[in-house]
Structure formats: structure tokens, C-alpha cells
Amino acid sequence: MIDRRAMLGAGVGTAGLATIAPAAMPSDPWRRADAIARGIHRPQITPQDQRITDFGARSGVDRDARPAILAAMAALGARGGRVVLPPGVWRCDGPIHLRSGVALHVEGGATLRFSRDAAHYLPPVLTRWEGTECWNYSPLIYARGASDIAITGDGTIDGQGFEGFFRWRAQQKPDQERLRDMGARGVPVAQRRFGEGHYLRPGFVQFMACRRVLIDGPRFVDSTFWMIHPVYCDHVTVRNVTLVSHHLNSDGVDPDSSTNVLIERCIFDVGDDGVAIKSGRDADGWRVGRAASRIVIRDCEYRGDAGGGMSIGSEMSGGVHDVYCERYRMNDVAHGLYFKSNLDRGGAIGNIFIRDVSIATAQAAVIFTTDYHGYRGGTAPTRFADVRIENV
């Protein structure tokens, strides 16, 4: 049962909602959502497979399958195709960097299990960490500037995060504050070097500046940090995935300054937000100046209990607009629909349409906050406008 007092007291309440209700909405927003979803381009993957067992991979935790995975990818050549992991347990001592035209296909009965050794994720790569660009440990699965890439199959991808990188959370604050200061001062990105000797946790799956991305089918478990994080991407589909990771910062899907994104039929059994839409943090988000937009979320389920089912922010300085969320079922959620900002962020949130959301229990069903934690003394309020929420 929704705690109505929490809903009214935690944030702007119903009066606040009325002040940001739409004055002039686009006509028939749900037709527009359907048109966005239909117009999202899927990756074009050449129908050829390379199985990692043909390159020396052997199932078992005592054998590193990464050399075989990379060899299979190389054997696909310029035409691309699928790197296939058959049933078994496949240890991977380091990241997988996808290139254009390649799908990582994890068959049912297969488990891809990543190493917990931080040294395996060096050298650093360009990343966006909590909304600020830097060079840091490679995400476990990563691509930059690629097109037509995919992760598919009915298998499991295990980040081994809880016994690995998650333990860094207690040590990360000095690096976290240093990075935020670099972003605020406009330090060139090339000089924002982290990695060895530092404690910024790498993401699980991060694609940067990629086009035509598909993640369809796998079960992702035990994340290192944010789970699926498309940054500066266009034409992204995430569907039929189950995400299971119960520690903090295990956000499910975080579309970050990305456009034309479809998230559907996903299960979020996570210790943080199910979907968290982002667009950069403070001055670094303004520098990049790229909004998150044209995002459709539908037919999903949230089974966590510590985060928001659907959130916008708090790193949203580039703006968020044209978001459509419908038919979302949430169990015992901390915050059902959570709009997060503070006076450092600036930016604008608008043209947000949400309907047909069921929530079993919540501390707050709908909350807008403009004093989210981490405030550094800024004077740039976020503008909220044109938000419609119905049938919650």
C-alpha cells in the first residue's frame, strides 16, 4: 500500500505537481511514444558465428577464456558477426571491448564470469563516472564509437562485484571529490587520470558514443557499479533482460545523454534505481551539453527495495526531455517515481509522460527533490515543466 502521507510530504506534494502540470502538451503523447519505439534502428549483424571453443576456450573457473573470446572476435573480420559462448562457465580475466558489427552471444546454460582483479581492467579508458568524464578502469563490457553492436542470448553474465569492486565504495570518496572538483574547474579530460592507485569503480556494461545498440536476453548479476550504461548513444534497445544485484549503486539501466532509447520487458532486482535517466553532472554536463531524450520505458518490473523504480537525475545537467514510461510494476520500492536534482545541477526536465504504474509499497510514490545530496554550493536551479503522471 502506498503511504500517501509520504507521497505528499516528501518533495513537492500534489500542489507542487499541479504547478508543473503541462500547459501545452504535444498531442497524443502515447502515439508519439509508439512512433519513437518503432523508429529505433536495430543493429545489423552479419549472420556468421565464431564459437570460442574453436579457439581453445575450455569451460571451468581455472581457465581464462578471454584470449579465445578476443580471437573469435578477430576471426569475424571486418564483416562482423557473433562471438558465441556455449553452455559452460567461462572465466574472463579482463574486459571485453566490442567493435562495430559484433554481437556477444551468451547461450542458455552459459555463464560469463568476470575477474575480480582490478589490474585486469587496465589500461584506463575514457568513461563518464557519475556524470563527469575521466579516464578510469575499463567497464567489464565496453565500446566507444562503435555501431551495430549487441549482447544477446539466454545465458548469465556475472560481474562478481560484491566480493570485488563494490568493496571500494568505502574508499572512493577522495577520488570522487577530486573528480567532481576537476569537472567544476574545467580541468581538461585528458588530465583526469584515475585507474591504478585510485578507487572509482568501473561500470558493468558501458557503451560510449555508439549507434544501433541491442541488449536482449541475458541475465546480468552481481554488478561492479551501474549495470547497463549507454552514454552519448543513439538508437538503443534494452529488452528481455533480468538484472540482479542487491548492493548500492547497482542501477539497472542508466541512459545517459542518449537518444532514441527503448527499455522494455526488463526485470530490475537491484539495490538501487531500476531505470535512472541522466545527462551529466554540473559544469561538466553543461560543457558536453547533450540531453537525454526520446526514451520509452514499458512493461518492466522492479523487484528491488532500496532505490527508485524510475528516476531522473540526479546527474541531469544536460537536460532530460521526451520520456515516456508506461505499464511499470513495482514491488517494495523506496521511491516509485523519483525526480532528483539540487542547486548545482541547472538543466531542465520536461515533456515527461508516465502512466499505468502499480506500486505495492513505497516510502514515497512520487517525489521531486531539489536538494539531493552532494550539494557543493551552486546557484543553478533545475527547471521542471510539462510533466504528466496518471493512473499510479
Q: What mean pLDDT is predicted for residues 367-387?
A: 94
User: CA-to-CA distance for 126 and 383, rounded, in angstroms?
Assistant: 30
Eight-state DSSP code of residue 231: E
pLDDT at 9: 32
pLDDT at 27: 82
Q: Does residue 289 carry a pLDDT above 90?
A: yes
Residues in contact with 177: Cβ distance below 8 Å, sequence separation at least 6, in sequence order: none
Q: Please state whether the peptide bond connecting residue 123 to the residue before it is cis, i.e. omega within 30 degrees of 0.
A: yes
Q: What mean pLDDT is predicted for residues 329-341?
A: 96
Asked if 60 contacts 89 with a C-beta cutoff of 8 angstroms, the reply is yes
Q: If pLDDT is split at 50, 70 and 90, which confidence band does 305 have? A: confident
> What is the number of structural domains in the chain?
1
Q: Does residue 166 carry a pLDDT above 80?
A: yes
pLDDT at 26: 52
Q: Does residue 19 carry a pLDDT above 80?
A: no
Rounded to a whole number, what is the largest CA-CA distance in the chain?
64
pLDDT at 24: 43
Q: Does residue 287 carry a pLDDT above 80?
A: yes
Q: Does residue 188 carry a pLDDT above 50?
A: yes
Considering the chain, what is the average pLDDT of its residues?
93
Q: What mean pLDDT is predicted for residues 344-372?
A: 96
User: CA-to-CA distance for 372 and 67, rounded, in angstroms?
Assistant: 44
Q: If pLDDT is split at 50, 70 and 90, which confidence band does 1 have? A: very low
pLDDT at 154: 99
Q: If pLDDT is split at 50, 70 and 90, which confidence band does 61 have? A: confident
Q: Does residue 317 carry a pLDDT above 90?
A: yes
Q: If pLDDT is split at 50, 70 and 90, which confidence band does 2 have? A: very low
pLDDT at 20: 37
| Residue-range definition of the domain harbouring residue 274 | 4-390
Q: Does residue 7 carry a pLDDT above 70?
A: no
Helices (H), the chain: 4-9, 13-19, 29-39, 66-76, 173-185, 282-288
Determine what percent of the chain is predicted with pLDDT higher than 70: 93
Stretch (H or E) spanning 369: strand 348-369
Enter the C-alpha cell of residue 391. 493512473
DSSP β-bridge partners for residue 238: 215, 263
Q: What mean pLDDT is predicted for residues 369-381?
A: 92
Q: Does residue 367 carry a pLDDT above 90?
A: yes
Count of alpha carbons within 13 Å of 317, Cβ hemisphere only?
A: 24
For 138-160, the pLDDT digits (tens) are 999 999 999 999 999 999 999 99
Q: Does residue 11 carry a pLDDT above 50?
A: no
- The SS3 call for residue 108 is coil
Q: Does residue 208 carry a pLDDT above 80?
A: yes
Phi, psi of 39 (to 5 degrees): -85, -5
Q: What mean pLDDT is predicted for residues 277-284?
A: 99
Q: If pLDDT is split at 50, 70 and 90, which confidence band does 269 have? A: very high
Determine what percent of the chain is predicted with pLDDT higher than 90: 91
Helices (H), 289-392: none
pLDDT at 89: 98
Q: What is the CATH number of the domain that holds 24?
A: 2.160.20.10
Task: Give the count of beta carbons closer than 10 Å to the beta carbon of residue 48.
Answer: 12
- The SS3 call for residue 273 is coil
Q: Does residue 10 carry a pLDDT above 60?
A: no
Q: What mean pLDDT is predicted for residues 248-253?
A: 97
pLDDT at 374: 87
Q: What mean pLDDT is predicted for residues 65-76?
A: 99
pTM check: above 0.85: yes
